Amino acid sequence: MTQPLLELRGVHTHIGAYHILHGVDFVVPEGEVTMLLGRNGAGKSTTLRTIMGLWKASAGELRFRGERLDGLATPDVAARGIAYVPENMGIFSDLTVQENMVLAARAARHAGELDCTRLDWIFGLFPALRKFWLYPAGKLSGGQKQMLAVARAICEPRALILIDEPSKGLAPSIIQNLITAFTELKRQRTTIVLVEQNFTMARALGDSVAVMDDGRIVHRGAMRELAEDDALQQRLLGLSLGAHQ
Amino acid sequence: MTTSPATATTTGATDTQAVPRSRFDWKPLALLVALAALALPLVGNPSTWLTLTAAGLAMGLIVFITASGLTLVFGLMDVLNFGHGVFIALGAFVATSVMGAASGWQGGAAQLGAMFLAMLAAMTLAGAVGLAFERVMVRPVYGQHLKQILITMGGMIIGEEIIKVIWGPQQIPLPLPEVVRGAWFIGDAAIERYRVLAMAIGLVVFALLVYTLNRTKIGLLIRAGVQDREMVESLGYRIRRLFVGVFVAGSALAGLGGVMWGLFQQNVVPQIGAQVNVLIFIVIIIGGLGSTLGCFIGALMVGVLANYTGYLAPKVALFSNIGLMVAILLWRPQGLYPVTNR
């Protein structure tokens, strides 16, 4: 068996007095989209933040390509090729779309040094960004902001992209646009960990799935198996994907 | 596997609804002009008005130099540094030593050289002390506002006492060099030479800050860091180093401001930092915490208003700055140019 790209073993995370993650075991195979599902408060976002080093794991191991991640500062985690799109998108509202992209491209000192081929590819995925290139990001709609957040994550080659609930609060047509863009990333075998509550998106994109509850992984397997098993969905998620068509 | 643009495709991502175009907010600037225009009929004499306005702008620009570092430190680091005044005092006292040592230098160029040398020395020393201040006083209390207020105020008291030990508790004269004494006349209006110099230095500092913030990647990181520090780190940048750099730059600017303020007053007391501290906190609150442009406009407003009211109603001048702050906050509760996340 090949080594997983990312591996979490018995990870515990405390936030102040609260014990949020209770020994998370989780693997992310390379070149796949891994869905992280679960009810609100199950610990999905905390898992992503712990991987990024934004919250420190109080116990357990996080390994990326076999190298320990726990204990590394967030910039060092990012430097290993891990991109993060937080739930609130983390857009710099007072900066233009262009400036947001320049910041995401660490090698570029200014817009003239952005990789044009890659930028054209991103504009192909998200045409709105080309149109509003010089506009303040804070003026964009929610969907456009989410596109910018994802565009920042892919504006340089990344080994792993962590995306936290990209569909949250978006209109169905925008969600469909995101699904199309993620499908393109998936087609190129980009490794993605996607936290989602939108089951249409989960089913369309997921190769494998991990379901969390109360700070633990309670189910791991193929996304297709979960999507086809109503009883399992009811047990793990308290609802049926079939009811969300 | 990493993402690759090799096979670009266009999805149906056509979310291109109209986005309002960003426009420069002229209202605060117009308010400053309106303030000056309103003062003209009240003052009556155009020459007096011109003298007061020039004096006010010069004072405002000196205040801006001292306050610009503080607003960046608060904006980026979320640190309430009540000890900022100690760097101002340090700058002013360093100037008394350097310019005192160079008092025998003859000729305009030599005198200007001595003054600029004093500014350089003040900035260097204030920046170096700022580096130690950040490490010892500020770093242990990041994210804890109450502790920041207490420890930085304590730091200022200690700094003042150290200044008294080195330079003594008495007032020290800081006379203007001969070359910048006197005034130029425009009609009957007297514009003091030093105030013109102060305006020039203030504008250079403002231009450098605006250039750095808007045209360099460091500036981009500072502006982004003011909004969302966590995201800047997630993109792979070490914001802690940026924090230290901004703190040192802010302290150095306070040192420069101290020299300018000392020369403006032509004497220096160990309490100079505490005296200016109140004024610069008013300015950064008026401007919008973290906003350099807001700090600039706010400082100019404070400067001209202090001069107009000082001439028209000296008793009102004592609380005109507070009155201005209240009025601005009633109009824009987050200051003239609010930074988005505050």
Predicted ipTM? 0.91
In this complex, the residue of B5, B223, B227 whose CB is nearest that of residue A118 is B5
Return the axis-axis angle of helices A97-104 and B217-227, rounded to nearest 10°: 100
Residue B13, domain member (yes or no): no
Residue B314, domain member (yes or no): yes
Q: How many CB atoms lie within 10 A of CB B169?
A: 12
Assess contact for B22 and A135: CB atoms under 8 A.
yes
In this complex, the residue of A30, A125, A191 whose CB is nearest that of residue B11 is A125
Strand segments, DSSP code E, in B73-161 are none
Chain A residues whose CB is inside 8 A of the B3 CB are: 154, 157-158, 161, 185, 188, 190
By CA distance, what is A29's nearest residue in B? Answer: B1
* Residue range B5-63, pLDDT digits in tens: 544 443 434 444 555 566 788 999 999 999 999 999 999 999 999 999 999 999 999 99
Confidence of residue B341 (pLDDT cuts 50, 70, 90): low
Judged by CB atoms within 8 Å, which residues 71-90 of A form the interface with B?
A: 73-75, 78-79, 81, 84, 86, 90
Residue B187, domain member (yes or no): yes
| Subunit contact B13:A191, Cβ cutoff 8 A | no
| Subunit contact A103:B224, Cβ cutoff 8 A | yes
Chain A residues whose CB is inside 8 A of the B16 CB are: 127-128, 131-132
What phi and psi values does residue A27 have, to the nearest 5 degrees? -125, 145
What phi and psi values does residue B328 have, to the nearest 5 degrees? -65, -40
CA distance readout (Å), B102 to B105, B178, B265, B283, B320: 5, 13, 19, 34, 39
Closest alpha carbon to A192 in A35, A4, A27, A9? A35
SS3 A138: helix
How high is the pLDDT of residue B142?
Answer: 82
Which among A48, A50, A55, A103 is the top mutation candidate for probing chain B, defined by the most B β-carbons within 10 Å of its own β-carbon?
Answer: A103
* Residue range B295-330, pLDDT digits in tens: 999 999 999 999 999 999 988 887 889 999 999 999
Dist CA B292 CA B287 (whole Å)? 8
In this complex, the residue of A75, A93, A177 whose CB is nearest that of residue B227 is A93
| Subunit contact A181:B340, Cβ cutoff 8 A | no
Q: Does A29 touch chain B (CB under 8 A)?
A: no
Confidence of residue A197 (pLDDT cuts 50, 70, 90): confident
How high is the pLDDT of residue A163?
Answer: 96
* Residue range A167-191, pLDDT digits in tens: 888 888 888 888 988 998 888 888 9
Closest alpha carbon to B277 in B153, B133, B171, B174? B153
In this complex, the residue of A52, A135, A152 whose CB is nearest that of residue B19 is A135
Cβ-Cβ contacts under 8 Å for B316 (sequence gap 6 or more) = B309, B323
By CA distance, what is B338's nearest residue in A? Answer: A94
Chain B residues whose CB is inside 8 A of the A181 CB are: 11, 13
In this complex, the residue of B1, B233, B239 whose CB is nearest that of residue A30 is B1
Enclosing domain of residue B112: 64-331
Structural domains in chain A (count): 1
- Mean pLDDT (chain B) is 89
Dist CA A124 CA B9 (whole Å)? 6
Judged by CB atoms within 8 Å, which residues 193-212 of A form the interface with B?
A: none
Question: How does DSSP classify residue B103?
Answer: T
CA of B242 vs chain A CAs: smallest distance (Å): 13
When pLDDT is averaged across residues A110-129 and rounded to a whole number, the result is 91
Dist CA A193 CA A163 (whole Å)? 6
Q: Does A120 touch chain B (CB under 8 A)?
A: yes
pTM: 0.82
Q: State the DSSP H helix or E strand holding residue A213, giving kind and residue range, or none if neither.
A: strand A208-213
Residue B27, domain member (yes or no): no
DSSP string covering A11-46: EEEEETTEEEEEEEEEEE-TTSEEEEEE-TTSSHHH
CA of B292 vs chain A CAs: smallest distance (Å): 13
Write the CATH number for A75: 3.40.50.300
| Subunit contact B234:A174, Cβ cutoff 8 A | no
Residue A225, domain member (yes or no): yes
Chain B residues whose CB is inside 8 A of the A143 CB are: 15
Closest alpha carbon to A99 in B78, B339, B235? B235
Residue A1, domain member (yes or no): no
In this complex, the residue of A127, A141, A191 whose CB is nearest that of residue B14 is A127
- CA end-to-end span of chain A, whole Å? 36
CA of B126 vs chain A CAs: smallest distance (Å): 30
Chain A residues whose CB is inside 8 A of the B8 CB are: 120-121, 124-125
Dist CA A49 CA B299 (whole Å)? 41
Enclosing domain of residue A84: 6-244
Chain B residues whose CB is inside 8 A of the A102 CB are: 217, 220
Structural domains in chain B (count): 1
By CA distance, what is B221's nearest residue in A? Answer: A103
- The identity of residue A139, as a single letter, is K
In this complex, the residue of A118, A180, A187 whose CB is nearest that of residue B13 is A180
Say what percent of chain B tops pLDDT 70: 93
Chain A residues whose CB is inside 8 A of the B239 CB are: 75
Q: Does A15 touch chain B (CB under 8 A)?
A: no
Say what percent of chain A tops pLDDT 70: 96
- The identity of residue B206, as a single letter, is F
What phi and psi values does residue A19 have, to the nearest 5 degrees? -95, 105
Locate tokens 């109140």: which residue?
B278
How high is the pLDDT of residue B21?
Answer: 61
Dist CA B112 CA B107 (whole Å)? 9
Dist CA B336 CA B113 (whole Å)? 37
